[in-house]
Homo-oligomer: A and B are copies of this chain.
Amino acid sequence: MVQAGEPGSTRPGGRTARVRAAVLAAAGDALAESGMDGLDLTDVARRAGVGRTTVYRRWGTVPALVADLLQDMAEQSQPRVETGSLLKDLLANARLVRETLAHPRQGRLFKAIIAAATCDERTARALHRFYEVRISEWAPCVEQAVERGDLPEGTDAREVIRAVSAPLYYRLLASGHPLDEATAERCARAAAVAARAGVYMR
């Protein structure tokens, strides 16, 4: 049997891949609708039109299913944009994060998973890996700016990318302020200005 969560093992095509896609979509829908408390493997199987025993055999537990969903989300997320301009690249990143968190289903999905991660260690580890993958995808934009001489040598590229996202997550989870386009632009500009000033030097 193909192991769920083995990168590249389940896509593209094939019955295993179709089952995984259907189950993860159903799990995401359930999470977005009613949070972690509403996530139940039997209900996910029913929504996905997949046998209950298949879901239990392959994922077994809710945290395992959520971990696989996060891995899939990381794999399916948009690749970085490379425009040759640090500010434009960071703007593209900020807009992508903003659109994701402001999206009705995706915003609720992230809230549900982040909430679950506060009290479940396995979900927390899967969430941290998700961000590692996403930050790794976008960090080269900053590394290229260093190579071009736009940013000081020794800039922590990953920390710059995290700085772009942070105010958007703060709005989603803490202050409740709207995730508007102006905020996304400010996130990108603030990270670029601070990076140029050497704030993110290692």
Bound: A189/B191 CA distance, A: 11
Stretch at the interface among A3-11, A56-64, A167-175: A167-175
Residues of A within 8 A of B (CB): 35, 37, 111-112, 114-119, 124, 127-128, 131-132, 135, 159, 162-163, 165-167, 169-170, 173-177, 186, 189-191, 193-194, 197, 199-200
Q: Classify the interface of chain A: helix, strand, loop or mixed.
A: helix
A124 to B35, CA, bound (A): 15
CA–CA, A182 and B200, complex, Å: 11
**CB proximity of A187 to chain B, nearest CB, Å:** 9
Residues of the B chain whose Cβ atoms lie less than 8 Å from the Cβ of A118? 35, 111-112, 114-115, 173
Specify which chain B residues have a CB less than 8 angstroms from the CB of A37 in the assembled complex: 119
Residues of chain B lying within 8 A (CB to CB) of residue A166: 166-167, 169-170
Docked pose: A170 CA to B167 CA in angstroms: 8
Q: What residues of chain B lie closer than 8 Å to A199, measured between beta carbons? A: 186, 189-190, 193
The distance from the CB of A199 to the nearest CB of chain B, in whole angstroms, is: 5
Known: A119-B112, A190-B190, A194-B193. A127 touches B163 (CB 8 A): no
How many angstroms between the C-alpha atoms of A200 and B186 in the bound complex? 7
